[in-house]
Structure 1
Amino acid sequence: MRLSKFFLPVLKETPAEAKIISHQLMLRAGMVKQTGSGIYTWLPLGLRVLKKIENIVREEQNRAGAIELLMPTIQPADLWKESGRYDAYGKEMLRITDRHDREMLFGPTNEEVITDIFRSYVKSYKQLPLNLYHIQWKFRDEIRPRFGVMRGREFLMKDAYSFDVNEVEARKSYYKMFCAYLNTFSRMGLKAVPMRADTGPIGGDLSHEFIILAETGESEVFCDAELVNMPPPGLDLDFDSDLLGEFEKRTQYYAATEEMHDQTKFESEVPEERRVSARGIEVGHIFNFGTKYSEPMKAKVMTPEGKEAPVHMGSYGVGVSRLLGAIIEACHDDKGVIWPEEVAPFKSAVVNLRQGDEACDKACEDVYAKLRATGLDPMYDDRDDRPGAKLSTLELIGIPKAIVIGPRGLKNGVVEVKDRISGVTEEMSLDAALNKLTASA
């Protein structure tokens, strides 16, 4: 992408309304624009990152055996009345009526809709297990939306729903999603810590939050260093195997959040040398809630014993748009964003320090073409602007690797290679620079 043809409205000053670093950098780097209270327009740069995050989430859901569909944003109130949640959910639900005075709502979650889909088509245990997911916009009318996309009213979410014939099988589905989440966040360059959590209005008796550690996190987190340092299950994990052992290995370490008021218990159960106190951001939440929705909504299957029984369910959420802000909170410096490679808006960049200089233009065009040919998804800063402004923009938007080409370096037969993640800048020949960037393509 040539930057001269791209829409990138960067800001020199930090907007006064932005109180946390992710909100500040997203506005400054031209990723989003506030359209209303807690509602944002995703500008081209931010949308590219959002799509990268969405694709990783989708790939790991598919790898774990979940099947994608797409449910509507607007839901009939009657389904929520069946489950008993319509009046209980609270003012966060945006309630509306259509022209025929039918009660509708802008979906904050999809347990009722997916249960209705299931009961319409699935009748036998032979059709189980089943896990259906979608990636869709949600709306929750937060009383005080703040922190940009970290706590907005409209947000993009992946929610999956598992269906099993009994509690034993339902927990196996839960273990699959637990492991899939660890792999998902690892691919984004994040350390995600699973923590036992309250089930809240979703219901059930088994739930985990996934917290990423960041110095600017929204809440204090207490956890065992053994859990923090444990590697993810890995992309070669066999999801058709019994994952109970993998799950138990990771949940044997006591973990609690500040909101659970369990710091005292934490300090009594975890040896002092293994205690970790840090800041964290919730990016995912999973639940096993049994028959909470299937019983009132009469979602039943025929069991192997020939009897009808309510299906056992679980739900699994990832805040896709929230993740973008969380990644920035965990990956930045005083100059801008430091994107992990898999979610970066562009994997590489070419910066022309003297647009219009014949030698610089020729060298940059050649490098840009070769990077594109290797699939490195490069950005080419071909704007007629000051070198300092170009380098500041490069650091602000956080492209992982860049080749910087100027007339003085070319005369000496060298260019600069900048690594945003390590912070290292090296001088080398143009061929060596290309080899360095394309080696990982």
Structure 2
Amino acid sequence: MRYSRSFIHTQYEVPKEAETPSHVLLLRGSYIYPAAAGIYSLLPLGHRVAEKIKKIIREEMDGIDGLEVTMPVLNPAELWKATKRYFDIGPELFRFRDRRQREFVLAMTHEEIVTDIAKKFLRSYRDLPVMLYQIQTKVRDEARPRAGLLRVREFQMKDGYSFHPDFEDLDRYYPRIYNAYLRIFARCGLNAVPIEADTGIMGGTGSHEFMLESAHGEDQFVVCTQCDYRANTEKAVGLKPAVKDLSANPPAMASVATPGVKTIGDLMEFFQTTEDHFLKTVAYDADGRLVLAVVRGDFNISVTKLANHLKAVHVDLASEDLLERHGLFGGFLSPVGLKDKNLRVVVDTSVGHETLYIAGGNAVDVHLKNVLPGRDFPVTEQVDIAEVRSGDTCAQCASGRLDVRRGIELGHTFKLGTKYTAPDTMDVTFLGADGANHRVVMGCYGIGVERLMASAVEQWHDEAGIIWPVTIAPYQVILSTLGKSPEVDDAADALYEALRTRWEVLYDDRDESPGVKLKDADLLGIPLRVVVSQRGLKKGTFEVKVRRTGEVFFFGRDEIEAAVARIVADLSPSLDGLPLLPEMG
């Protein structure tokens, strides 16, 4: 492609709305253009990158017996009502009526449609297992779209769904999809870390996220310094050091007036004790029911863990009105002396029974000291609802420390089980070899296409611009002419025709200054830059610069094609050393 005929309009100013490196550089490089907040057009360069990513995805999905389909974005609402997700998902789900007043949704995932297809066609054990996948548009009414392509309202996603005769067959297949995901990310030049994850609104029996460590990521995950434990902070568990200071004859609980003493810092100073001697009680509205969550003062509550334990769909901080209706006061909450005996109290495992605590007094400006769990309030529901902390001891190996890191979620795999095929959802069964009906077991697997594009830029960039991995770059080579002379133009034209037979080449034939051409080449991030100049021609050489390393080489006309082939091969991502799961026959 000749630059003069392409649709590339680079910018040198940083767009005001851009926040992250990928957002800045994809806008400046003319890869994307915003239509509205969280809604982007892929311009020709961005489209080429997306198509490269899709090609890699398709090759890996086809390699594990995936069958590509295309399902509609417009979904009948009755299918989503059958799985209850119509009611469970909040305003993120677009809901509307057509001219005949029939209800529809815009799909953010396609479990309902694909399960409906399975119900129609998967009738016998001979039809199983099967994996259907698509690369399709998804839509969600994201409350706070940000960071360019990392958090959007409309996006392309590869979603795959596997159907199995039983859980054992799903377990046999799962390593194949897990390993295919690792290969996809590696082929895209991304250093993905597989971690244990929460299943969220997808449900199911287990899942993994594939994270790219990044300072601009919205997710947090933990990594053990000693073993292979990796988990999202919403799922992660660590050992909680016990605090044991109970004497043989512990003092009785006592009420203490604390006017004006409200922050944890003020309370520690007032009571002359440490944070781990406090009970932190937070009130939540869980699907319309008031729940008190209690953790030791040096921990924070994980709302996700709490929601999973409660099996609640919506868990929000309780309003003042809800607290008042139960005779409670925000800022002075406590599990002690509750008037409503039906109030659900969930206590974290950090709260020990051999420690005296400070707790709220369930009255304004009152706290309680010498509070002993089990003696002064019943502990009937004690589970892990705390967020892990950096430095906590790993629960898996009991020796390593957990390091909390930020990351971008590249993909997610789920063992859905029978969540969508159960009798109270879409009721999908098949006739087994034994002549009896059995329930279909499902898996679900997603990758965001544009998110991979943005993530590649987050990982591979410098102050000058993007540094594309060669496998997903819009072009492998950018050919630039420096200087204005027929000799330079003729040599460049000939080289362009030779190189384009083997590689995708962007030929910068514009009538621009050398500075503009070289600056644009760095901004666009194409892996190899080949320069034809008057000086080089006098020496009989062409200049080749490797964008990733900055290395510059000079090759003669008879060497240039072999040199480009060698450098492109050297830049190709390696699949060695991936943490693959063992696959079963």
TM-score scaled by length of structure 1: 0.90
The reply to whether residue 164 of structure 1 matches residue 164 of structure 2 is yes
Q: What are the equivalent positions in structure 2 for 1:229-244 lying under 5 Å apart?
A: none
Q: CA–CA distance in 2 between the matches of 1:66 and 1:313?
A: 14
Q: What secondary structure sits across from 1:301 in the alignment?
A: strand
- Distance apart, 1:220 and its partner CA: 4.0
- Contact 2:29 2:523 (8 Å CA) reproduced: yes
- The answer to whether the 8 Å contact 2:225/2:402 transfers is yes
Q: Which residue number corresponds to residue 462 of structure 2?
A: 333
Deviation of the 1:115 alpha carbon: 0.4
Match of 2:471 in 1: 342
Mapped pair 1:255 → 2:381? no
Q: 2:509 aligns with which of 379, 382, 388?
A: 382
Deviations 1:235-275 (CA, angstroms, capped at 9, x unpaired): xxxxxxxxxxxxxxxxx821123444334555454588897
- Cα deviations by residue, 1:118-155 (Å, 9 ceiling, x for unpaired): 11111011111110000000001011111111000001
Q: How does 1:118-267 map to 2 (within 5 A)?
A: 118-224=118-224, 253-260=228-235, 261-263=387-389, 267=394
Match of 1:99 in 2: 99
Q: Classify 1:292/1:275 alpha carbon distance in 2 versus 1 (closer, same or farther; 3 Å).
A: closer
Shift of 1:191: 1.4
Q: Distance in 2 between matches of 1:217 and 1:322?
A: 11
Q: Which string of whole-angstrom CA distances, capped at 9 and with x for unpartnered residues, describes residues 61-108 of structure 1?
A: 010111100001110001111112111111100111111010011100
Structure 1 unmatched ranges of 5 or more: 227-251
- Cα distance in structure 1, aligned partners of 2:473 and 2:512: 24
Q: Is the 8 A contact 2:224 2:394 kept in 1?
A: no
Map residues 15-30 of structure 1 onto 2, 5 A cutoff. Answer: 15-30=15-30
Q: Which residue of 2 aligns with 1:89?
A: 89
Which residue of the partner structure matches residue 246 of structure 1?
none
Note if contact 1:417-1:426 (Cα within 8 Å) is conserved in structure 2: yes
Distance 1:18 1:371 in 2: 36
When residues 317 and 266 of structure 1 are mapped into structure 2, their CA distance, relative to the original with a 3 A threshold, is farther
2:531 paired with 1:404? yes
Counterpart of 2:433 (choices 304, 313, 328) is 304
- Report if aligned partners of 2:465, 2:525 keep a CA contact under 8 Å in 1: yes
Q: Corresponding residue for 2:414?
A: 287
Distance 2:536 2:225 in 1: 47
| Contact map agreement 1:217 1:329 (CA 8 A) in 2 | no
Aligned residue in 2 for 1:369: 497
Q: Secondary structure at the match of 1:428?
A: strand
Counterpart Cα distance in 1 of 2:161 and 2:527: 35
In structure 2, give the amino acid aligned to 1:389.
Answer: V
Cα distance in 1 for residues equivalent to 2:142 and 2:400: 40
After alignment, is 257-266 or 191-200 more displaced? Answer: 257-266
Which consecutive residues of structure 2, in runs of 5 or more, have no partner in the other structure? 236-386, 570-585
C-alpha contact (below 8 Å) 1:256/1:262 kept by paired residues: no
1:438 is the counterpart of 2:565: yes
Cα deviation for residue 170 of structure 1 reads 1.3
Distance 1:270 1:215, change over 3 A: farther
Task: Give the letter aligned to residue 203 of structure 2.
Answer: G
Match of 2:293 in 1: none
Give the secondary structure class of the aligned counterpart of 1:313.
strand
- Give the equivalent residue in structure 2 for 1:8: 8
Secondary structure, counterpart of 1:329 in structure 2: helix
Provide runs of 4+ in structure 1 moved above 6 Å.
271-275
Tell me how far apart the structure 2 counterparts of residues 352 and 285 of structure 1 sit (CA, whole Å): 45
Separation in 1, partners of 2:547, 2:52? 19
Letter in 2 for 1:361: D
Q: Distance in 1 between matches of 2:393 and 2:137?
A: 37
Aligned residues: 414
Given that 2:106 and 2:138 are in contact with CA atoms closer than 8 Å, whether structure 1 keeps it comes out as yes
Instruction: Quote the Cα distance in structure 1 between the aligned partners of 2:400 and 2:191.
Output: 20
Matched-pair contact (CA < 8 Å) for 1:340–1:400 = yes
Q: Deviation per CA, 1:281-333, whole angstroms, max 9, x where unpaired? A: 10100111211111121211112221112200010000111111111001111
Between the aligned partners of 1:398 and 1:276, the Cα distance in structure 2 is 33
CA–CA separation in structure 2 for the residues paired with 1:327 and 1:65: 27
Q: Deviations over 1:398-434 (max 9, x none)?
A: 1111211111221222221010122211223233233
Change (3 A) 1:109 1:302: same
Distance 1:225 1:349 in 2: 42
Task: Output the CA distance in 2 between the equivalents of 1:332 and 1:313.
Answer: 39
2:445 pairs with one of 305, 312, 316: 316
Contact 1:349 1:380 in 2 (8 A): yes
For residues 377 and 271 of structure 1, the distance between their equivalents in structure 2, rounded to whole angstroms, comes to 52
The answer as to whether partners of 1:403 and 1:433 remain within 8 angstroms in 2 is no
Q: Distance in 1 between matches of 2:178 and 2:562?
A: 39
Supply the distance in 2 between the matched residues of 1:45 and 1:75 (Cα, whole angstroms): 32
Structure with more of its chain in helix, by fraction: 1
Q: Is the 8 A contact 2:394 2:400 kept in 1?
A: no
Identify the range of structure 1 (9-18 vs 265-274) with the bigger mean alpha-carbon deviation.
Answer: 265-274
1:215 and 1:330 in contact (8 A); partners too: no
Partners of 1:371 and 1:214 lie apart in 2 by 36
TM-score normalized by structure 2? 0.68
Contact 1:80 1:86 in 2 (8 A): yes
1:42 aligned residue = 42
Query: One-letter code of the match for 1:262?
Result: V
Superposition deviation, residue 278 in structure 1: 4.2
CA distance in 1, matches of 2:204, 2:565: 49
Aligned-partner Cα distance in 2 for 1:378–1:305: 59
Mean CA deviation greater in 209-218 or 153-162: 209-218
Larger radius of gyration: 2
**Aligned partners of 1:179 and 1:308: how far apart in 2?**
32
Q: Quick one: distance in 1 between partners of 2:400 and 2:30?
A: 43
In structure 2, what is the Cα distance between the partners aligned to 1:274 and 1:418?
A: 43
